Each structure stands twice: as structure tokens, then as C-alpha cells.
Chain A
């Protein structure tokens, strides 16, 4: 069997890497996952930095293109394979696409910052034997609550964030939420909100995401 042209560099436990992996799996695009040993600072070495100048994961290659930034990679995949795997990930017309971009940006600008801090403080820091910052946790929990209140309202009148179909906007939330719900004591932030809870339960049980979680737990 030919080696797939698509290569993803980075560990599946990284939230940004897992964002790309779930997109590839939703789209049914074969890929090779290339390990990057972050404990040995492989992501800061010249060979890697050539692909990703900020020294972060993931990096991505397909045919002749090298890309970084997980949300840019997801947009690329959804545009390249509109009819493969899960259709409608990036909409079928410009207005729907704009709505998806809007909620993808909301994830990136409003949801990601506090949820990333909490994920790091509550999951990664103990794992790496680093001291937790209680004030930072409290501050970011308050910020996340406000964002989830907006989502609760939105998901009361819309099955998914951008409309009635699962899209990149929902997908983009999977990595951080998985950690917060399954690996920290902050699950309640999501499960105590009726609509957010319903939405989380639907998107997290999709087969593609379940495969990514298996890869993370391997």
C-alpha cells in the first residue's frame, strides 16, 4: 500500500495535533502520524523549525505544501475534500461558511484562551510536576463560564454552533473540552448546562473523535 502523502507531525495528546487528526478522520483522508519527541525538544530543533518556525506542534505536509496552525490545516482539508467523509464540515454556500468561520473564530478567540489555561493548569501541569496557579485557575474558570453561557443560549436554538450540521466550528472545541470533562474536576462547567451538555455528548461520541481519544490513550 502506498504511503499516504499526508503527514502530521506531533503527539496525539497535543490539543492542536488532535484537532488536525479528528479532521482527517472525519474527512476519511489517510495520513501518517510522525512522532515528535517534545521531552527531548525535538520541536525546537532546526529540522523541525524549518517546517514550523514557531517551534510548535503540529506541522503538516501534503503533496507539495507544508502548513502549520491547526485551524488553517482544518480549513485546507475541508476545502480540498468537500465531498469526502463528513460533508458540510465547511458549509455548502458562502453564508453557511461565514457562520462556520464566525464560530471557529469564537472558539479561537474566546473559548480557546481560558480553556487552554485550565487544561494546562489542571491536566498538564500535574503531569509535568509543575506547581498550579490557583488565581489563574479561578480567573480563567470565570472567563470560561461566561463563554459557555453564550454557547448555552446559542445551542438552545441551534443543534450545533453554526447551524443544524456538525461543522469545523464544533470540531475545533473537541480537544480542550475532552481534557476538561474527562481529566479534570471541571466537567460540571459543561454538563451542568443543558444545551452545552447535550451538544458535548453528541460531538464527543462521534466515531472520528473516539478514534483520536484511543490514539491519545495508547
Chain B
């Protein structure tokens, strides 16, 4: 049975899930949800995801939302295929969870605000709050300084293997490097730069990008 993933390929959270499914070679079907026409706020969709957000995943009778819960589930389910993605010991797993929380709170909040202000609001006819964008950028500088320190001691955030914690950053950093024009946050930092080049060249992420560019 093929896993159904509901959400547009352009959105960060569905991309997070797809990257994970590709890492484990899990067959899926992407069912687009049109955010522009508010499809995610319609009763049919709210039945699946009561907060009216993407993605939601249907795996047979089982339904799950929140992208970081979804990737934890599949990394556990297919742990045999790639043990390192969610750690092989209790302590390793705790570090993956820790850096996943860092991405969810310290990193994501800032990126989300920047994307909302620079891309979504103008598209809806509103005005960007550039002060807010600037503040978020400053906070991200601090976050990336911490990442630079961390990555000077380890190849990846949670240790010396690529894990869900690194994967979780892929969609957000892609936005920063492209539409948000804040690539310097990554390029100015030696270790962060190396790390980004490494994780963004993984075959699984490249497959997500192929879909994003309309080729998959």
C-alpha cells in the first residue's frame, strides 16, 4: 500500500516528509493541496488535519500529521534500512531529538517569519515588515554561529552521521538560500557551508528538488 502525502511540493513541511521517505525508499503518492485557494481550510481537509496545515500522511488506515512526528515514525519503522538516521543508542537518539527541537524552535520560527514577510504577505497584497525580517536575520546569525561551533566538533549536528536533525533543516535552508536571498548566513560560515553542501547533495534531497522543479 502506497503512503499518501497531502500537501504542495512547494511547502517546507511536506518537503521534510518527502526527503525522509526518499531516504528510506518508501513508495508514496503526493496529493497536492492548493493553499492559494484555501483548500487546507476546507472541511474535507480539516477532517484529516484539524489545524488546517500541511502535510498529513495516510498509510492504510493510519493517519498522521506534524512533519517532525511523521519523520520520527518512518525513521523508527524503517530503522533497519538506515540505523543512523535516528541514532542507534538511547543517547544518540536523544541528541537527534535535541537538535530536531533546536530546528523546530530556534531555526524554524525565524525562517517561517522571514518567508511569511518576504514572500507570502506581498503575494497577498500586503507590506513586508522589514524591521521584523532584519531582527529574524540577526537571530539566525546567532543560531548559525552556534551551528558553526557545533559542526567544528562533529560532521553533523547530532554527531558524526547524517540524521533527522540535519534532514529537518533542508527545506528551510533552501528557502534562505534562494527566495529569501539570505545565502550569506550559510556561505559566510566555513563548517556550516560544508555541511549544507553535503546534506543538500544527498540523493534523497535531490529527488525532492526534482519534484519541486517539476521534473519528478
Contacts and interface: CB of A to CB of B under 8 A. Distances in A.
B201 to A, nearest CB: 27
Interface string B88-101: 00110111011011
A141 interface: no
A94 B77 contact: yes
A95 B62 contact: yes
Given A54-B146, A98-B64, A76 B73 contact: no
A78 to B, nearest CB: 11
Given A53-B146, A97-B76, A69 B64 contact: no
A147 B50 CA distance: 9
B94 A104 contact: no
B104 interface: yes
Q: Which of B73, B91, B93, B98 has the most CB of A within 10 A?
A: B98
A75 interface: yes
A71 interface: yes
Contacts of A37: none
A76 B97 contact: yes
Interface in A66-108: 67-69, 71-73, 75-76, 79-80, 94-95, 97-99, 101-102, 104-106, 108
Contacts of B70: 98
B94 A108 contact: no
A109 interface: yes
Contacts of B98: 67-69, 72
Interface string B78-114: 0000000000001101110110111011100100000
B138 to A, nearest CB: 15
B66 interface: yes
B212 interface: no
Interface residues of B, number: 30
A interface bracket (residues with beta carbon within 8 Å of B):
20 to 34
Q: Which of A109, A147, A150 has the most CB of B within 10 A?
A: A109
Given A54-B106, A150-B51, A102 B65 contact: yes
Interface string B122-155: 0000000000000000000000001001100000
Contact of B97 (A72, A102, A109, A153): A72
A101 B90 CA distance: 17
Given A64-B91, A98-B69, A109-B66, A75 B106 contact: no
Contacts of B149: 53
A76 B86 CA distance: 13
Given A95-B62, A98-B69, A102-B64, A67 B94 contact: yes
Nearest to A74: B97
A147 B91 CA distance: 33
A80 B89 CA distance: 10
A80 B91 CA distance: 9
A105 B90 CA distance: 20
Nearest to B150: A53
A193 interface: no
Contacts of A7: none
Contacts of B90: 76, 79-80
Given A54-B146, A104-B69, A72 B104 contact: no
Interface in A134-150: 147, 150
B100 A72 contact: yes
9 contacts: A65-B94, A97-B76, A98-B69, A98-B73, A99-B64, A101-B66, A102-B64, A105-B68, A105-B104
Given A72-B98, A106-B65, 11 more contacts: A53-B149, A69-B97, A69-B105, A72-B97, A76-B94, A79-B90, A94-B76, A98-B70, A102-B65, A106-B51, A150-B51
